[in-house]
Structure 1
Amino acid sequence: MQTSTLGSLGPVSRLTLGGGGIGQIWGETNDEEAMATVMAALEAGITVLDAAPIYGSCEALIGKTFGGKLPTGVKVTTKHYLATSPAAEVEARLIASLEASLSAMGLERVDLFFLHSNLHADGFEYAHGNARRDTFSTAMSLYEGHVVPAMLKLKAQGRIGGWGITGIGVPTAILAALDQAQKPDAVQVIANLMDSPGALRRYAEAPQPRAIAAAARARGVGVMGIRAVQAGALTSGVDRDLSANSPDNADFARAAPFRELCAAWGEDPAQVAHHYALSLANYDTIVLGVKNRAELAQCLAAEAAGPMEQARVAAIDALGLAS
């Protein structure tokens, strides 16, 4: 498998195994198949496991699979969904979350610790769900004054190798965070052919995932691409129940021309979508939401194919699906 450099974290595989699938939140699987998928991923050359407490059973499964002894060269991430907390409690909450994750995985440190909540400018109002803003988003003043210092302290103590932000919040806020003197070591950014965050988008301004990835790369910040198949919208069929008005369901309907194009090529939409994501500029590694070895095999084939032919990229872009 090809490798890339994830900012200051050094070399990583071009594919990362995400925790959502093996944690059983992206459709049905079981512990045995999830563990077999983890081992198959490592055998294929994947060197990063992307975990989080909200990814179902993934942290416990990592602990069960490796017994606290990761194979040499394998890196692990985790996250904390801080949202809006009292300033005086930020550091304690980050530490408590990290310690719980380390305990679940049987580890003494993680390589990356992400702020999992959205970022927004102070006073910003979301187009959707603004009344619940404090439950999913973190103001820049809280981030700058308390999250960043706490992350730097954890890094200096050696409890984390680096820290990052999940770049699914307001694009202008993410770009502002990348412009600060104390930059994150990595950022997770939407990486799909629709440029769509789907149900994660609550703001009115246009998503700018490729601009965010380019800005991060220019500043030496590692970029992890997420949602290559946009929560199932870019697959042959969504494998979980969605409400009729779900943005992910709307994206699935909007992606019908993409599925028709893949059918004409005689290829599976999920594999083509991963191949496209892997061919995007400025992304160091693409996080997979696979839940079993069959789905993993498609992604491995997409990576092994190398960069997508420009004619195919152009045919996909001509569908006009990008947000």
Structure 2
Amino acid sequence: MNYRDFKPYLKISSLTLGGGGIGQVWGETTSEEAVKTVHAAIDHGINHFDVAPMYGKGEAERIIGKSLNGSDADDLFFTTKCQLGTLPDTEVYDKLNDSLTRSLDNMKLEKVNLFLLHSQLIEDNYKLYKFDEMRAKSATTLSCFFNAAIPAFERLQKEGKIDHWGIGGLGQEEAIIQALKHSQVPSAVQCVINPLNSAGAIGYVSEAFNPPAILYECQQLDIPILAIRAVQAGALTSSMDRSPHESGFDKSDFDDFDKAEPFRDLAIEWGESPASLAHRYALSIKGVASVILGVKNRTELKECVEAEAKDLLSDSEIQQIENCLT
């Protein structure tokens, strides 16, 4: 496993085990297999784990707690999140603190190294492209973020419950860029990075959400980047192993799978699985400290670890991948 510069921790494994798969949000797996996957990740040298209460209603966090089971975790780093929404300023700290307290209890930890806003950022009075009450409640306005969320994060830091805070890098492009350029800069940002330039079903805030614009701003401002959606909800793998009726997925993800047929053909031509090539693509993008995996078992994890061990893609190979999808 290679380790990369990541300002919050100095160094981080170039792969991070995410919580969607081990939280049993998609595809078939079990709690027992999820625990074994965490142990295998540690054995492979992965030292960063990215979970959230939303992943299986706390199941991903509980899997971390079961996997550690009181063992020494001093060399490991943990990220969790909170979907804040937009609340009155006086309620923001309590919402973040209550969520974090449950997460720490689930993981059996005294603090997390990175606490991320899991809401999608929007400008005040912005109307979501795909509107429904649930999605609207998940969005955080910039005024709420600047006036209440950032001070709450700083208070949690002073209380020793978190080391750093960051944002999820999803939402209204203009709002995210304003957050990145604010005087109080996030310690890390999760960026959608895949050759489809698609956030799929989670890109419901803007009609034309442009992930490369967020990536570019992070690169220019030297803000640490954690890559998400490397295989775009399965669209850049050999086959979709989930249903459009599962929570967090919709027709857009399956449309992306159809669009990605030339990518799968190219992967076969290069003698590699599509998932492996997609992860190598994300790993090869400038400024990426770690790619967050959505694997749900040891077999999928092994494929990603083997991809990480291969050479980074050259500029010409990256261009060839991008060209096949335009």
Instruction: Give the TM interval when normalised to the shorter protein.
Output: over 0.9
Q: Alpha-carbon deviation of 1:310? A: 3.5
Alignment partners' CA distance in 2, 1:97 and 1:80: 6
Task: Give the match for residue 293 of structure 1.
Answer: 298
- The alignment yields a C-alpha RMSD, in angstroms, of 1.7
Three-state SS of the structure 1 residue aligned to 2:8 is: helix
Alignment partners' CA distance in 2, 1:174 and 1:204: 12
* Alignment of 1:111 onto 2:113: yes
Task: Give the match for residue 90 of structure 2.
Answer: 88
Q: Alpha-carbon deviation of 1:124? A: 1.2
Q: Alpha-carbon deviation of 1:160? A: 0.2
Matched AA of 2:276: Q
Query: Could you tell me whether the CA contact under 8 Å between 1:78 and 1:112 is conserved in 2?
Result: yes
Q: Alpha-carbon deviation of 1:82? A: 0.8
Matched AA of 1:263: I
* Alignment of 1:21 onto 2:26: no
Moved more, 110-119 or 127-136: 127-136
Superposed, 1:59-138 pairs within 5 Å as 59-129=61-131, 133-138=135-140
Task: Give the match for residue 33 of structure 2.
Answer: 33
Q: Alpha-carbon deviation of 1:208? A: 3.2
Q: Alpha-carbon deviation of 1:290? A: 0.5
Three-state SS of the structure 2 residue aligned to 1:32 is: helix
Alignment partners' CA distance in 2, 1:273 and 1:67: 33
Query: Could you tell me whether the CA contact under 8 Å between 2:195 and 2:325 is conserved in 1?
Result: no
Which of the residues 254, 275, 282 maps onto 1:277? Answer: 282
Three-state SS of the structure 1 residue aligned to 2:112 is: coil
Superposed, 1:86-235 pairs within 5 Å as 86-129=88-131, 133-204=135-206, 206-235=208-237
Alignment partners' CA distance in 2, 1:245 and 1:114: 25
Alignment partners' CA distance in 1, 2:3 and 2:78: 16
Three-state SS of the structure 2 residue aligned to 1:17 is: strand
Q: Alpha-carbon deviation of 1:133? A: 5.0
Q: Which 5+ residue runs of structure 1 have no aligned equivalent?
A: none
Deviation readout 1:276-299 (Å, 9 max, x if unpaired): 111111211100000111111111
Q: What is the percentage of aligned positions where both structures have the same residue?
A: 42
Alignment partners' CA distance in 2, 1:64 and 1:173: 38
Change (3 A) 1:319 1:61: same
Alignment partners' CA distance in 1, 2:315 and 2:31: 40
Query: Could you tell me whether the CA contact under 8 Å between 2:50 and 2:80 is conserved in 1?
Result: yes
Query: Could you tell me whether the CA contact under 8 Å between 2:18 and 2:294 is conserved in 1?
Result: yes
Task: Give the match for residue 52 of structure 1.
Answer: 52
Provide TM-score, normalisation by structure 2.
Answer: 0.94
Moved more, 95-104 or 19-28: 19-28
Alignment partners' CA distance in 2, 1:149 and 1:176: 17
Alignment partners' CA distance in 2, 1:9 and 1:69: 20
Q: Alpha-carbon deviation of 1:130? A: 6.0
Query: Could you tell me whether the CA contact under 8 Å between 1:187 and 1:222 is conserved in 2?
Result: yes
Alignment partners' CA distance in 2, 1:148 and 1:175: 16
Moved more, 208-217 or 162-171: 208-217
Q: Which 5+ residue runs of structure 2 have no aligned equivalent?
A: none
Matched AA of 1:304: A
Q: Alpha-carbon deviation of 1:203? A: 3.5
Change (3 A) 1:291 1:132: closer
Change (3 A) 1:100 1:212: same
Q: Alpha-carbon deviation of 1:257? A: 1.3
Moved more, 244-253 or 59-68: 244-253
Deviation readout 1:172-213 (Å, 9 max, x if unpaired): 111110100011111111011111100111244543323322
Alignment partners' CA distance in 1, 2:126 and 2:209: 16
Change (3 A) 1:217 1:261: closer
Matched AA of 1:67: N
Task: Give the match for residue 249 of structure 1.
Answer: 254
Three-state SS of the structure 2 residue aligned to 1:238 is: coil
Q: Alpha-carbon deviation of 1:131? A: 5.6
Query: Could you tell me whether the CA contact under 8 Å between 2:84 and 2:96 is conserved in 1?
Result: yes
Three-state SS of the structure 2 residue aligned to 1:5 is: strand
Matched AA of 2:214: I
4+ aligned runs moved over 6 Å, structure 1:
none
